[in-house]
Amino acid sequence: MATIGMAVARDFEDSEFVIPRDRLQAAGHTVVVLGAAVGERIKGKRSEQVAKVDLAVSDADPADFDALVIPGGYSPDHLRLDPKMVAFVRKFGKGDRLIAAVCHGPQLLIEADLVSGRRLTSWPSIRKDLEHAGGHWVDAPVCVDGNLITSRNPGDLEVFSEAIIDKLAANSNSANVGWQGRA
C-alpha cells in the first residue's frame, strides 16, 4: 500500500482533510500529516477537526512518499509562505508522483511552479491565479492530468477521494517506499 503525505497548516478546510484521510486509510494506505513541527496540533477552519503533525516538512524526504494530498481552506495560503514546504512540494512534483489538491490547495502548486501547462480545477476564486501561472482551468468535480488530481470544493470530496484511490491502484506497479515513523 502507499504512503501519502498530507500538507496542512492552520485553517485547513475540515472536511477536505478528514474525508480524503479517512478514505485513504480505509483503503489500506498510510497517511502522514506534514506540517511545521512534529506533534503540533492544528485546528481546522471550522474548528471541527484537529490535525496532529506526524512529520515536520523540514525532516521530510519526498522520496519517502508515493503521493501528496493538499487540502484547501486557508491552509494552502499559509503553506505557500513556508519556504521549506514550497521546496518539498516542488521537489515532490518534479518526481512525477501523484499530487492531489482540492479547493484552494492548488495555491501551493502555483508557488511551487507546478501548474504551467497542466489542466486542473479549483475553487473558482483562484481560477485567474492558476491561469496566470500557465494552468488550463476547467470547471469539473475532479480533473486528472497525469499524476495531478484536482477538485473544486467539499461537495466533490467523494469523487476526489475515489480518483486518488484509483490512481494509486493504477500506479501500484511502482515501488511503495513507506514512511518509518521517524521523528
- Residue 102, all three cell numbers: 482540492
Instruction: Work out the mean pLDDT of the chain and round it to a whole number.
Output: 94
Q: Which range of residues forms the domain containing residue 106?
A: 3-170
CATH number for the domain harbouring residue 108: 3.40.50.880
Residue 35 contacts residue 52 (beta carbons within 8 Å) = no
Long-range contacts at 92-95 (CB < 8 A, ≥ 24 apart): 92/5, 92/62, 92/65, 92/68, 95/62, 95/63
124-157 residue pLDDT tens: 999 999 999 999 999 999 999 999 999 999 999 9
The residues that are catalytic are: 103-104
Domain annotation covers residue 61: yes
The ranges of the chain with pLDDT < 50 are 175-183
* Alpha-carbon span 36 to 11, nearest angstrom: 14
Q: How many domains does the chain have?
A: 1
Does residue 137 lie in a domain region? yes
Residue 44 lies in a domain: yes
Which pLDDT does position 183 carry in this prediction? Answer: 33
Q: Is residue 88 part of a domain?
A: yes
Write down the pTM of the prediction. 0.93
